[in-house]
Structure 1
Amino acid sequence: MTAASVRAEAVARTGYGRLLALLAARSGDIAGAEDALSEAFEQALIHWPRTGVPDHPEAWLLTVARNRQRDRYRSAAHRTSVALEQVAELHAAPDADPVEIPDQRLALMFVCSHPAIGATIRTPLMLQTVLGVTAKDIARAFAVPAATMLQRLVRAKQRIRDAGIPFVIPDRSAMPARLTAVLEAVYAAYAIDWHGIAAATERRLLAAEALFLAETLAELLPSEPETLGLAALICLSSARSAAQTTGDGSFIALADQDPQAWHGELIDRGERYLHRAHRHARIGRFQLEAAIQSAHCARRSTSVTDWAALKVLHRGLLDVAPTLGATVSLAAVLEHTDGPHAGLALLDALDGTAARRFQPAWATRAHLLAAAGQVEAAREAYGKAISLTTDRAMRDHLTAARQRLDRPLP
């Protein structure tokens, strides 16, 4: 792979959403914008090895893609390709600086969350159009056949074009109905278990993009406490990301992490967002999840974990957002406040296929069984958790935990 190809791939990863938002905002046609942008990247792979990578690669791509859009709007007899001389001019003549226009991406997210778009496809649509996640990876993350997900995404884009949905951030009256879907998509980009789906570099880029969008939303909509809560949540969660693995990529559980290795500046930023959210006195899911992360991050300064506070926060989260993940997290906390049997009782109350296929539930059950001295049952639960784990580092961590059950006590 040439240096120009590497640079084009890097721009595709980091700038795709910005470029697509700018192109689609003019035409209202997301699919057409995607085609134009794809052709622009093809041109880059042809011309950059000859002319060198331009000083403003995103602006170069934006200009070529806009030319492709204009060509499509003309009759076939007038379509022309970009000549080599024109490409040379583009090398030093940026049309616009996409980095300076973040609101276009937010506008595109609100387009994707329009009531005319089905609720179940909004988050996948935003993940693809704004963050550049492939339909195949989205399908795997949502446990849907790739062909089915692709068809749904195509229909949603056609709906946006045919309905003429404007590429604008909605006014205050329409905001509440659409903001939730936008926040959910940003959170999904950060929180979905992309391990085993996307490469490590892509996962880091998704996390960085999610943090950028969350903080942009918080500054754009400072009177909406859940935007502040989401920004706090991602800041506080991101602060611990570097300490979750060793140099060789091995997983480190939260209890075993060195708090001094956490990112202090991100923790401070998250705390400021959380305090701003609390001043609105309207508690929501993201604020509660951020408060949970804040309680864990407090160990950096206090060296202890306030499990009683975490129990209260997790119960509050379960009341507001009664998800499978929230239930499993509360079960893990109960070990420290009420003993492992209390956590196991909560897990025993779970029912349904989703619970039986939920890897964190089996990993938590295995840990609680081991803490309760039920070694054989713990070994079986670890085996089930390992079978459901796609990430190698997590699988190695669980395998080591199961092996420790066979060691005699000192």
Structure 2
Amino acid sequence: MGRAGALRIGRQRRGAAGYAAADERACVSDGAAAAAERVARESYGRLVARLAWQWRDLAAAEDALADAFAAALRHWPEQGVPDAPEAWLAAAAHRRLLHHARHVRLTLDPRVTALLDEAEPEAPERQTVPDARLQLMFVCAHPAIEANVHAPLMLQAVLGLNAKVIASAFLVSPAAMAQRLVRAKARIREAGLRFEAPEARELPARLAAVLEAIYAAYTLGRHALDSPADDLREEALFLARLAAQLLPRQAEAWGLLALLLHAESRRAAQFDAEGRFVPLAAQDPAGWRDDLIREAEAALWTAAKLRQPGLFQIEAAIQSAHAQRRATGQTPWRAIAQLYGVLVQHHANLGARVGQAVALAESGEPAAAVALLDALPLEAAGYAPYWVARAHVLGMAGAPGRQAAVQRAIGLTDDPRLRDFLVAQLG
């Protein structure tokens, strides 16, 4: 459902209770609406994770939270925004779940009986996963749910992202992603799946989907323009660190952590003082964070010692090679091209193949890079990084078509900072 969905349904349910649209606008003050928006943006994922973990039911948790937002939009304009709005919403959703439990006569279930006093239930004494959000992510990777929806379901249920945003991370249309998520939730209801915490022995088999979702969350936060982007990046980094600590014998967990740390180390150098985009090759390595680079290298070395090769480790190794420029002043393009070749052998997605083409061109083989881009499937035509890379590679090869490629990239780019950079390339 997501944060925006909770607010939207909240407004719809308030209207169903008898409020006309005009009365809503008069009743809901700007301050109360802004507070609800802020809590939805910052806390939706934590609230859903907490409620779903306590009640073992994702759909019920989302419905209860939507009702809580509806109640907030009714009461906050009259009573004032509470000092702890997140706690207010959690309590309202909790009461709704209690009421529903009584209504459907589930009180014979010991887990529900324990909740029938209005107090918040205590967590089980022994938890497999020490963080409710990460625990719910492992739950979303239940084998009864289709594998291609595991990571998207985590992004929606745990981090509160909507289908349109999630679709951009997986290179599918928003409509297709929405259908996947709807089918997944229908499957959960039809199968009567209870959101039980997985046992420790089940975690390694579910880890790949969890890491994919964490990586997608960081990527979405990295490219977003609004202020919650920082929160999403920080949350992804927190979850990556926690996953590595939880499963220290799983090399890919350390590989993902290394990859994100290398990306985060360059965040401040990605834009100049005027907010203009600076491509990696033009960044001043002195602006990269040395502490994060060292932490990334330690994580990558930990992964290597486990001798479990994986995709995130290869991607982290590519970023590690880029980081060498901070010490040597040179980018080892030949080694990077070789690493991309290994990555493409195991996971030939568009991003990997585009990266391989750029590395080939930079290492002195622009003609081979053009041929590689020419061989990509038709779906590359809608992928902005493909056209950015094509323009760069054609320019290095001295081949025609560079200007047209830049124009195609501009048309597919949403970020105005990157669009301004590309427009400058036309000159």
TM-score (norm 1): 0.84
Distance in 2, Cα, partners of 1:336 & 1:144: 30
Q: CA deviation at 1:268?
A: 2.0
Query: Is 1:370 the counterpart of 2:400 in the alignment?
Result: no
Instruction: Show CA shifts across 1:231-265 (max 9, x none).
Output: 11111111112211123332111111111212222
Instruction: Show CA shifts across 1:121-143 (max 9, x none).
Output: 22221110111101343345556
Gaps of at least 5 residues in structure 2 are: 1-28, 105-117, 124-128
Which residue among 311, 314, 333 is the counterpart of 1:285? 311
Distance in 2, Cα, partners of 1:356 & 1:150: 23
Distance in 2, Cα, partners of 1:140 & 1:229: 23
Q: Which residue of 2 aligns with 1:209?
A: 235
Judging changes above 3 Å, is the alpha-carbon distance between structure 1 residues 349 and 150 closer, same or farther for their aligned structure 2 residues? Answer: closer
Distance in 1, Cα, partners of 2:175 & 2:362: 45
Q: What SS does structure 2 have at the residue aligned with 1:74?
A: helix
Deviates more, 1:259-268 or 1:225-234: 259-268
Q: Which residue of 1 aligns with 2:245?
A: 219
Distance in 2, Cα, partners of 1:49 & 1:222: 48
Which residue among 164, 188, 193 is the counterpart of 2:193? 164
Instruction: Show CA shifts across 1:197-255 (max 9, x none).
Output: x6522333322221111111011111100011111111111111221112333211111
Query: Is 1:346 the counterpart of 2:372 in the alignment?
Result: yes
Judging changes above 3 Å, is the alpha-carbon distance between structure 1 residues 55 and 377 closer, same or farther for their aligned structure 2 residues? Answer: same
Kept in 1: contact 2:169–2:219 (CA 8 A): no
Distance in 2, Cα, partners of 1:102 & 1:130: 15
Q: CA deviation at 1:305?
A: 1.5
What pairs with 1:240-389 in structure 2 (closer than 5 Å)? 240-350=266-376, 352-374=377-399, 376-389=400-413
Number of aligned positions between the proteins: 382
Kept in 2: contact 1:60–1:94 (CA 8 A): no
Kept in 2: contact 1:311–1:337 (CA 8 A): yes
Judging changes above 3 Å, is the alpha-carbon distance between structure 1 residues 114 and 227 closer, same or farther for their aligned structure 2 residues? Answer: same
Q: Which residue of 1 aligns with 2:58?
A: 30
Q: Which amino acid aligns with 1:41?
A: F
Q: What SS does structure 2 have at the residue aligned with 1:32?
A: helix
Distance in 1, Cα, partners of 2:305 & 2:274: 43
Q: Which residue of 2 aligns with 1:116?
A: 144
- Give runs of ≥4 in structure 1 deviating > 6 Å: 93-97
Instruction: Show CA shifts across 1:24-46 (max 9, x none).
Output: 12322212211211222343445
Deviates more, 1:163-172 or 1:243-252: 163-172
Deviates more, 1:14-23 or 1:51-60: 51-60
Q: What SS does structure 2 have at the residue aligned with 1:117?
A: coil
Q: CA deviation at 1:379?
A: 1.6
Q: Which amino acid aligns with 2:390?
A: R
Q: CA deviation at 1:191?
A: 2.4
Which residue among 407, 411, 416 is the counterpart of 1:392? 416
State the superposition RMSD in angstroms.
Answer: 2.9
TM-score (norm 2): 0.80
Q: CA deviation at 1:60?
A: 3.1
User: What is the percentage of aligned positions where both structures have the same residue?
Assistant: 48
Instruction: Show CA shifts across 1:55-92 (max 9, x none).
Output: 5443332222111111122339xxxxxxxxxxxxx9xx
Q: What SS does structure 2 have at the residue aligned with 1:399?
A: helix
